[in-house]
């Protein structure tokens, strides 16, 4: 018996004697990270040099509004402002004309009170990290999408475009000043979430979206910045962009 | 080791010795506690007190004290994150992820994987912020050759926890169409199921007792898109998938059968650091000859008081 054989026998015993451990049961508990739990001062101290600056940044005034801006369906001043931002900032970011911009009604998470608008207000308005994307939609697909938002009691649409909701369907659809043409192609700005078929907008799902990683929140901040530099408030008028037909 | 823990572990060891010497005795039990988060999205502070559903919840200071309390009572604890550490509060806009990574290091995270939003300030920024990390980034299906991440990640890590050798790998989501190309640079995405199965084989060869996959694939989709559900069913030896991306709050882990007929658990705890998941596993010891046998895991849930 040579040394190698002995070594193999030794290794065989070593391996065969090794104990392994197998999971046999698991108990789950999901903890809510609740304010009732005490804070760890080590972490509070770690954050302190950063959080002071963050608070100052959140309190920075970036614009103003002369009216309380509420979330309403089918149309609101707040929604109009956000849809205009989608259209105009998409045009700037993607460097091409954008026919129409939309705002997912469920994505408006706060309201703006009359007076100064702070950066913190915009984080509350848009806490998600959704991005502005554009898609090239054939008129018939755009029409399906507008039927969809009409059935959801109306979502904000950008200036120059409008629709009337009758029995949960859209009619008299105007895009960028002209009646919708089913055979035309439109450049449409939406959130990446909606463009990917979110909120049951399944007609958009298969259509490629151009995405430059431009956060809707950043678009809002930049759009307000543009208006403020022109001395304009962010509020506006109700314009019957989305309205419900008298039946 | 504190006194309470020392006494308990000594008792456990003594118990194990006795059990192994007495035929027919109850086999020894070995605990492993896994704590996890996903999609924290720069939520270092609790959610603002603005009347919304999540007000006051979350925040690293509270999470840290919760973790410390659990570490006091449990013997073997792992703390893991499934990606999208970055983006969502002004902390990220101002500091590009530095306080997020420092906070995770302070809390003693053992490993994390990368989410799509971790590329948001560019791949070079993520690599740079890892200078503040005391934990590895594990991901096996991104080829980072020729990128700033090249020397800043591992396909997997192995951590000895008590008796158990735990293998931890990571898988990431397809970046094309989700992350602008200029942000992820030369990163090459590979099939997560194939990459995970190949990596798990390496972990098995290194005799890991338990294999955890940190995943940013998303739990499941209506369309035909790779997910934790698909990975679980097509895997061979993954025991647990800690998921993310889809921001789902699971009431308890989902259980799937892998290709060997063994149990795979999948869990996810929403987003924003609102929850901390805790899985208390109990292991039994086996002779090596039983290794390849598919095992089942009994799942129970403790309701919150």
- Mean predicted confidence (pLDDT) in A102-108: 92
Residue B102 and residue A41: Cβ atoms within 8 Å? no
Pair B272, B43: CB distance under 8 Å:
yes
Q: Report which secondary-structure segment, H or E, holds B70.
A: helix B60-73
Split at pLDDT 50, 70, 90, the class of A219 is very high
SS3 for chain A, per residue?
CCHHHHHHHHHHHHHHCCEEEEEEEEEEEEEECCCCCCCCHHHHHHHHHHHHHHHHHHCCEEEEECCCECCCCCCCHHHHHHHHHHHHHHHHHHCCCCCEEECCHHHCCCCECCEEEEHHHHHHHCCCCCEEEEEEEEHHHHHHHHHHHHHCCCCCECCCCEEEEECCEEEEEEECCEECCCCCEEEEEEEHHHHCCHHHCHHHCCCCCEEEEEEHHHHHHHHHHHHHHCCCCCCCCCCCCEEECCC
- Each residue's pLDDT tens digit, A220-241: 999 999 999 999 999 888 999 9
Find residues 126-185 of chain A whose CB sits inside 8 Å of chain B.
Answer: 127-129
* Distance from the B111 Cα atom to the nearest Cα atom in chain A, whole angstroms: 19
Q: Nearest-CA residue of chain A relative to B43? A: A127
Domains of chain A and any CATH numbers: 61-238 (3.90.780.10)
Interval B259-283: pLDDT, tens: 999 999 999 999 999 999 999 999 9
Residue A237, both tokens: 């008028």
Q: Confidence class of residue B24 from pLDDT cuts 50, 70 and 90?
A: low
| Interchain contact, B209 vs A53, CB within 8 Å | no
Mean pLDDT of A174-193: 97
pLDDT > 50? residue B156: yes
Q: Is A34 on the interface with B (CB under 8 A)?
A: yes
Sign (positive or negative) of CA dihedral A176, A179, A180, A184: negative
Sort out which chain A residues have CB atoms less than 8 A from B291's CB and list them.
20
Q: What's the token pair of residue A230? A: 């022109």
Query: What is the complex's ipTM, to 2 decimals?
Result: 0.88
Q: Which residue of B has its CA nearest to A200?
A: B222
- Residue A176 C-alpha, separation from nearest chain B C-alpha, in angstroms: 28
Query: What span, in angstroms and rounded, lies between the C-alpha atoms of B250 and B25?
Result: 37
Output the CA–CA distances (angstroms, integers) from residue B174 to B115, B197, B218, B220, B241, in the order listed: 10, 17, 11, 14, 18
Are the beta carbons of A17 and B290 closer than 8 angstroms?
no
Would an 8 Å CB–CB cutoff place A2 in contact with chain B? no
């Amino acid at each position: 018996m040579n040394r190698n054989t002995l070594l193999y026998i030794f290794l065989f015993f070593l391996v065969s004697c090794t104990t392994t451990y197998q999971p046999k049961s698991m108990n789950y508990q999901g903890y809510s990270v609740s304010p009732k739990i005490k804070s760890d001062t080590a972490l509070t101290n770690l954050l302190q040099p950063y959080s002071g600056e963050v608070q100052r940044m959140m309190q920075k005034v970036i614009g103003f509004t002369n009216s309380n801006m509420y979330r309403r369906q089918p149309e609101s001043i707040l929604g109009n402002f956000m849809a205009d931002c989608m259209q105009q900032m998409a045009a700037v970011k993607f460097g091409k004309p954008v026919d129409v911009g939309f705002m997912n009604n469920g994505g408006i998470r706060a309201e703006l009170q009359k007076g100064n608008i702070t950066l913190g207000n915009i984080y509350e308005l848009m806490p998600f990290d959704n991005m502005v994307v554009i898609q090239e939609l054939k008129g018939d697909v755009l029409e399906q999408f507008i039927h969809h938002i009409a059935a959801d009691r109306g979502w904000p649409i950008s200036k120059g475009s409008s629709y009337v909701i009758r029995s949960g369907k859209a009619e008299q659809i105007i895009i960028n000043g002209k009646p919708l043409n089913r055979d035309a192609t439109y450049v449409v700005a939406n959130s990446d979430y909606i463009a990917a078929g979110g909120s049951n907008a399944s007609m958009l799902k298969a259509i490629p979206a151009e995405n430059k990683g431009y956060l809707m929140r950043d678009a809002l901040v930049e759009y307000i910045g543009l208006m403020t530099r022109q001395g304009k408030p962010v509020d506006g008028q109700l314009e019957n962009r989305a309205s419900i037909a008298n039946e | 080791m504190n006194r309470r823990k020392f006494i308990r572990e000594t008792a456990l060891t003594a118990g194990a010795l006795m059990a192994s010497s007495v035929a027919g005795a109850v086999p020894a039990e070995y605990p492993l506690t896994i704590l996890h988060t996903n999609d924290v999205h720069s939520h270092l502070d609790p959610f603002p007190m603005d009347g919304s559903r999540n007000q006051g919840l979350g925040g690293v200071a509270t999470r840290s004290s919760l973790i410390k309390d659990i570490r006091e009572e449990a013997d073997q604890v792992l703390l893991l994150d499934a990606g999208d550490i970055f983006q969502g509060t002004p902390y990220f806009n101002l500091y590009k992820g530095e306080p997020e990574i420092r906070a995770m290091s302070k809390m003693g995270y053992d490993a994390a994987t990368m989410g799509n939003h971790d590329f948001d300030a560019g791949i070079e920024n993520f690599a740079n912020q890892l200078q503040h990390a005391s934990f590895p980034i594990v991901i096996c299906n991104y080829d980072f050759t020729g990128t700033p991440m090249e020397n800043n990640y591992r396909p997997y890590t192995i951590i000895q926890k008590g008796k158990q050798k735990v293998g931890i790998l990571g898988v990431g989501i397809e970046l094309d169409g989700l992350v602008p190309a200029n942000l992820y640079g030369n990163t090459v995405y590979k099939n997560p199921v194939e990459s995970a199965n190949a990596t798990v084989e390496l972990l098995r060869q290194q005799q890991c007792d338990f294999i955890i996959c940190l995943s940013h694939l998303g739990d499941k989709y209506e369309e035909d898109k790779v997910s934790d559900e698909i990975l679980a069913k097509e895997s061979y030896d993954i025991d647990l998938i800690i998921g993310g991306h889809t921001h789902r709050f699971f009431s308890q882990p989902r259980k799937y059968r892998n290709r060997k007929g063994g149990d795979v658990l999948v869990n996810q705890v929403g987003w924003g650091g609102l929850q901390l998941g805790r899985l208390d596993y109990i292991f039994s010891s086996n002779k090596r000859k039983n290794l390849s046998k598919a095992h089942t895991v009994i799942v129970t849930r403790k309701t919150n008081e």
